[in-house]
């Protein structure tokens, strides 16, 4: 089976401290892969390494077989990888519709164009409206994104992340700070929008992970201690010991 | 503050609606009619100056408002564009074959060329680094004006004669009014192009990079290239403004390049409001009027402009345009009339307080700087002896009384503002 993301012996040190200590991870094409782990395990650092926000100390990250070392975030994005952020990262002053439309511009080929007027491009408007319908924000279309509720902003963030049409989607704790009903809503949304795409997500909420992921990797102190289906991970004694403990039994 | 403008932009239907075209038609009509109302030569000079400042401020706002780049040295793009046009005017053979109205294109191209060179390294980062590079480059080129005498003409600058150009349908631009219409034409064209630029993919992404550069990178855009494009476009229009300056004044000096000019355009733009496209236009109009009208009345005009700027930055960060747009909900709900009385209750005493304060400042200035023995001064068409107690008492009473009344009615004004602009009529 081909992998969308192939991470080999990835390491990252900040000064003397090694945060990521040799991660090997392969995310298969079309699967939903979750990375879980306790606070401080290095999940977000791993994310930032993959998406080019930080430079790795050693090891390789390959996207569809292409080495990402030294590539800037925008170059990685153009290779077909899109990410969301743990802290909501939208364009708060723009309307909800503008947010999505901006996310569409590059992949729709408008690039650095200064000779087309965006409002005259029906394909952009239609595509943006389609995504708004997908993330159920049509009724909020013309509001400034900054005034949306937290859950709506998270939904918008997912919309921005998928709008570019990237086939590898990386979500960083998409349900962080949400109520139960909001979480259910977002999980359902993620399930829909990542249909036929490769999803990699970092998550804290066990319910989300076990309901959504095809495979799970457990990251503890910068190392992957187990990878497998939810059942395999659930049954793994090392995982239980290191991380899940009693939290497992709730689910 | 930026919200309203962007939302209204996204709502636009693909076709041209009346609401979009109307402001442009009205502006064009106003530009055509203004010199028929204000026929004096001095008025036309002021309007020309205004038009040039508007173009420059709009170009500057492509960086500051649209792109989030704070430049401290933008005068050089206008200045160098202007100097280049001055040289073209002095190339007698070439200029004799060139109609004057075409000249701003050359100014724009030179400004753009300089922006390409400088932007190639200055747009690498935004924020403080960008601001510092712009400051450094600004200083560098201003210093060059004394060193590279061939191009900048040293201390006397470069002068020329616009009338040597190829007559344009028989017009030789000898008269001020002819120059006015040339300037007005370029003002309309530049403003329209800059407005349209903000509606293109690169213009929209410039906003995105301003708000959240990292997110924009993850949408496939290099923030550096986005800034570079805005920077180059801004350089072009600054160069156009420089060319119009050259045509109007027929002389450029070091003053057109230095930091004072760069700082002034920042002040103009911010005063007008960076969050709206028309903000810099208001800023340029108000500033030019203050400088010319107030400058005729008092030597201290810069002090008052400075104070106005300070008040704007501290209390109305959206600038004058932001202040106007704060009232758009009241206009839409037709509640503007309910604001007249509460506003008057604050603004009229407030105006008296400001007059009182200004009188005190002017009298202190007179006391300190008038020649010995000169006790007579005139303020607001009243002559008096600045060494008697009465004018001081009147001014102090105006300041304190007006200030007290304004402060007293301020909460009422705030309440009626909220009542007029909130959906439920202020019940909450």
Q: Which pLDDT band, with edges at 50, 70 and 90, does A102 fall under?
A: very high
Q: Which residue, among A53, A63, A117, A143, would best test binding to B if mutated, counting the most B CBs under 10 Å from its CB?
A: A117
Tokens of B332: 């839409």
User: Is the same domain home to A211 and A144?
Assistant: no
CA distance A216 to A212: 10
Tell whether A112 and A133 lie within a shared domain. Answer: yes
Q: Cα–Cα distance between B53 and B242 in angstroms, integer?
A: 10
Q: What's the rounded mean pLDDT across residues B146-159? A: 89
Average pLDDT on B31-54 reads 92
pLDDT of amino acid B338:
83
Residue A5 lies in a domain: yes
Q: Is the pLDDT of residue B425 over 70?
A: no
Of A109, A142, A165, the one marking the end of a domain is A165
For residue B2, pLDDT beyond 80: no
Closest Cβ opposite residue A113 in set B196, B200, B211: B200
pLDDT of residue B8: 42
ipTM of the complex: 0.85
| Cα of B426 to nearest chain A Cα, Å | 20
Instruction: Tell me the per-residue pLDDT of B90-136, one tens digit each, with 9 for 90 and over.
Output: 998 898 889 999 999 999 999 999 999 999 999 998 889 999 999 99
Mean pLDDT, all residues of chain B: 88
Asked whether residue A176 is assigned to any structural domain, the reply reads: no
Is A141 within the bounds of a domain? Answer: yes
| A122 and A110 share one domain | yes
Backbone angles phi, psi at B316, to 5 degrees: -130, 70
Nearest CA in chain A to B15: A120
* CATH number for position A204: 3.40.50.300
Write down how long chain A is: 251
Instruction: State whether A3 and A68 are in the same domain.
Output: yes
In angstroms, the CA A229 to CA A210 distance is 9
> What does the pLDDT look like over A157-166, one tens digit per residue?
999 999 988 8
Whether A29 is in a domain gets the answer: yes
- Rounded to whole angstroms, the Cα distance separating B388 from B386 reads 6
CA angle at residue B268 from B107 to B298, to 5 degrees? Answer: 115
Nearest chain A Cα to B215, which residue? A89
Q: How many domains does chain A have?
A: 2
Tally the residues of chain B. Answer: 428
Q: Closest to B222 (Cβ–Cβ): which among A72, A98, A122?
A: A72
> Is residue A184 domain-resident?
no
Q: For residue B387, give how far its alpha carbon lies from the nearest alpha carbon of chain A (Å).
A: 55
Contacts of A169 in chain B (CB under 8 A): none
Averaged pLDDT of chain A = 88
pLDDT of residue B10: 43
Question: So what's the pLDDT on residue B16?
Answer: 65
Q: Assess whether A70 and A94 both reside in one domain.
A: no
* First vs last C-alpha separation in chain A: 30
Task: Give B212's contacts in chain A (Cβ within 8 Å).
Answer: 89-92
Give the lowest-confidence range in A144-153, A237-246, B79-88, B273-282: A237-246
The pLDDT assigned to B389 comes to 84
Nearest CA in chain A to B196: A117
pLDDT category of residue B415 using cuts at 50, 70 and 90: confident
- Taking the Cβ of residue A112 and every Cβ of chain B, the question of whether any pair is shorter than 8 Å is answered with yes
- A87 in the same domain as A61: no
Same domain, A101 and A51: no
Q: Which of A165, A184, A213 is the last residue of a domain?
A: A165
CA–CA min distance A213, chain B (Å): 24
| pLDDT(B14) > 70 | no
Chain B residues touching A115 at Cβ < 8 A: 200
pLDDT, tens digit (0-9, with 9 covering 90-100), for A115-133: 888 888 899 999 999 999 9
In a domain, A190, yes or no: no
The verdict on A86 touching B (C-beta cutoff 8 Å) is no
Q: With an 8 Å Cβ cutoff, are B200 and A77 in contact? A: no
CB–CB of B216 and A94 under 8 A?
A: no
Residue A102 lies in a domain: yes
Domain check: are A111 and A71 in the same one?
no
Residue A212, CB-side half-sphere exposure with 13 Å CA sphere: 33
Average pLDDT over residues A43-70: 90
Does pLDDT of B33 surpass 60?
Answer: yes
Residue whose C-alpha is closest to residue A38's, from A240, A249, A183: A240
Residues A86 and A161 in one domain: yes
Interface size between A and B, measured as CB pairs under 8 A? 122
Task: Please say if the pLDDT value at position B3 is more than 60.
Answer: no
| Partner residue opposite B204 with nearest CB, options A78, A92, A105 | A105
Asked if A142 and B7 come within 8 Å (Cβ–Cβ), the reply is yes
Give CB contacts under 8 A, 24+ apart, made by B287-295: B287/B53, B288/B46, B288/B49, B288/B50, B288/B53, B289/B46, B289/B50, B292/B46, B292/B49
**Residue B11, pLDDT score:** 44
Q: pLDDT value at position A98?
A: 93
Q: What are the tens digits of pLDDT across the range B280-329? A: 999 999 999 999 888 888 888 889 989 999 999 898 889 999 988 888 88
Task: Report the residue of chain A nearest B228, measured CA to CA.
Answer: A112
Domains of chain B are 22-326 (1.10.3470), 329-421 (no CATH)
Q: How many CB atoms lie within 10 A of CB A145?
A: 26
A97–B199 C-beta distance less than 8 A: no
- B332 — pLDDT class (breaks 50, 70, 90): confident
- Closest residue in B to A78 (Cα–Cα): B220
Is the pLDDT assigned to residue B270 strictly greater than 60?
yes
B5: contact with A, CB 8 A cutoff = no
Among A95, A123, A148, A159, most B C-beta atoms within 10 A, so best to mutate, is: A95
Interface check B193 vs A, CB under 8 A: no
In the predicted model, what is the mean pLDDT of residues A39-52? 88
Q: Kindly provide the b/e burial profile for residues B193-215, where b requires at least 16 CB atoms within 10 angstroms of the residue's own CB.
A: ebbebbbbbbbbbbbbbbbbbeb
Residue B15: predicted pLDDT? 54
β-strand A168-172 against A81-83: which pairing, if any? parallel
**Is A145 part of a structural domain of the chain?**
yes
Q: What is residue A58's predicted lDDT score, i.e. its pLDDT?
A: 92
| Chain B residue with Cα closest to A87 | B215
Residues A209, A240, single domain; the answer is yes
Stretch (H or E) spanning B210: helix B201-211
Mean pLDDT over B178-185 rounds to 94
Query: Confidence band (pLDDT; 50, 70, 90) for A244?
Result: low
Q: Shortest CB distance from A118 goes to which of B200, B212, B233? A: B200
Task: Answer yes or no: do A86 and A148 share one domain.
Answer: yes
Write down the pLDDT at residue B412.
Answer: 87
Out of B10, B199, B220, the one facing A97 most closely (by C-beta) is B10
- A170 vs A190: CA distance, rounded Å: 11
Asked if A26 and A7 touch (Cβ cutoff 8 Å), the reply is yes
Q: Which two tokens stand for residue B171?
A: 């017009």
Give the integer Cα–Cα distance in Å for A67 and A62: 4
Residues of chain A positioned with their CB less than 8 A from the CB of B225:
112
pLDDT band, very low/low/confident/very high, at B424 (cuts 50, 70, 90): low
Question: What tens digit of pLDDT does each residue of B212-245 get?
Answer: 998 999 999 999 999 999 999 999 999 999 999 9
Dist. CA B141–CA B60, nearest whole Å? 18
The range of the structural domain enclosing residue A126 comes to 81-165
* A48 and A29 belong to one structural domain: yes
């Amino acid at each position: 089976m081909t992998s969308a993301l192939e991470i080999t012996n990835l390491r990252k040190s900040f000064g003397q401290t090694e945060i990521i200590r040799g991660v090997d991870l392969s995310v298969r094409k079309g699967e939903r892969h979750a990375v879980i782990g306790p606070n401080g395990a290095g999940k977000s650092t791993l994310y930032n390494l993959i998406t080019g926000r930080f430079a790795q100390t050693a090891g390789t990250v390959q996207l569809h077989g292409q080495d990402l070392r030294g590539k800037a975030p925008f170059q990685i994005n153009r290779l077909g990888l899109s990410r969301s952020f743990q802290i909501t990262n939208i364009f708060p002053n723009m309307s909800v519709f503008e947010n999505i439309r901006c996310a569409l511009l590059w992949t729709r080929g408008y690039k650095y164009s200064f000779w087309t007027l965006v409002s005259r491009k029906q394909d952009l408007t239609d595509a943006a409206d389609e995504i708004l319908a997908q993330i159920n924000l049509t009724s909020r279309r013309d509001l400034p994104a900054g005034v949306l509720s937290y859950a709506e902003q998270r939904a918008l963030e997912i919309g921005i992340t998928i709008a570019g049409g990237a086939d590898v989607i990386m979500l960083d704790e998409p349900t962080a700070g949400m109520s139960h009903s909001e979480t259910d809503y977002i999980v359902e949304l993620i399930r829909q929008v990542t249909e036929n795409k490769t999803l990699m997500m970092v998550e804290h909420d066990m319910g989300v992970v076990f309901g959504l992921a095809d495979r799970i990797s457990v990251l503890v102190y910068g190392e992957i201690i187990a990878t497998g289906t939810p059942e395999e991970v659930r049954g793994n004694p090392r995982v239980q010991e290191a991380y899940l403990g009693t939290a497992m039994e709730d689910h | 503050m930026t919200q309203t403008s962007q939302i209204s932009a996204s709502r636009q239907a693909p076709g041209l609606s009346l609401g979009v075209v109307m402001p442009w038609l009205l502006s064009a009509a106003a530009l055509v009619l203004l010199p028929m109302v204000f026929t004096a030569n001095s008025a036309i000079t002021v309007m020309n100056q205004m038009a040039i400042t508007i173009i420059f401020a709009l170009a500057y706002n492509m960086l500051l408002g649209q792109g989030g780049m704070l430049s401290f040295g933008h005068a050089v793009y206008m200045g160098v564009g202007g100097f280049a046009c001055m040289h073209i005017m002095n190339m007698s053979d070439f200029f004799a074959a060139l109609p004057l109205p075409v000249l701003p294109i050359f100014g724009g191209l030179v400004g753009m060329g300089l922006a390409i060179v400088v932007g190639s390294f200055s747009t690498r980062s935004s924020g403080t680094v960008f601001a510092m590079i712009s400051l450094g480059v600004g200083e560098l080129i201003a210093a060059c004006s004394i060193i590279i005498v061939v191009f900048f003409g040293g201390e006397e600058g470069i002068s020329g004669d616009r009338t040597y150009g190829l007559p344009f349908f028989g017009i030789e631009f000898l008269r001020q009014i002819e120059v006015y219409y040339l300037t007005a034409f370029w003002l309309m064209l530049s403003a329209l192009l800059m407005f349209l630029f903000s509606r293109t993919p690169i213009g929209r992404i410039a906003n995105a990079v301003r708000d959240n550069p990292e997110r924009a990178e993850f949408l496939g855009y290099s923030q550096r290239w986005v800034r570079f494009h805005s920077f180059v476009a801004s350089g072009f229009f600054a160069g156009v403004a420089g060319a119009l300056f050259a045509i109007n004044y027929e002389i450029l000096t070091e003053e057109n390049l230095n930091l004072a000019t760069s700082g002034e355009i920042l002040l103009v733009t911010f005063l007008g409001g960076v969050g709206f496209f028309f903000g810099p236009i208001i800023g340029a109009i108000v500033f030019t009027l203050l400088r010319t009208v107030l400058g005729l009345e008092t030597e201290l005009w810069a002090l008052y402009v400075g104070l106005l700027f300070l008040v704007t930055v501290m209390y109305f960060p959206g600038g004058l345009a932001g202040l106007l747009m704060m009232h758009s909900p009241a206009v839409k709900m037709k509640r503007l009339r309910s604001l007249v009385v509460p506003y008057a209750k604050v603004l009229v005493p407030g105006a008296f307080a400001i007059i009182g304060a200004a009188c005190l400042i002017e009298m202190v200035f007179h006391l300190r700087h008038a020649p010995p023995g000169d006790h007579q001064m005139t303020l607001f068409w009243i002559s008096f002896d600045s060494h008697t107690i009465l004018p001081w008492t009147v001014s102090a009473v105006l300041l304190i009384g007006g200030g007290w009344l304004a402060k007293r009615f301020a909460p009422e004004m705030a309440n009626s503002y909220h009542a007029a602009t909130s959906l439920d009529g202020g019940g909450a």
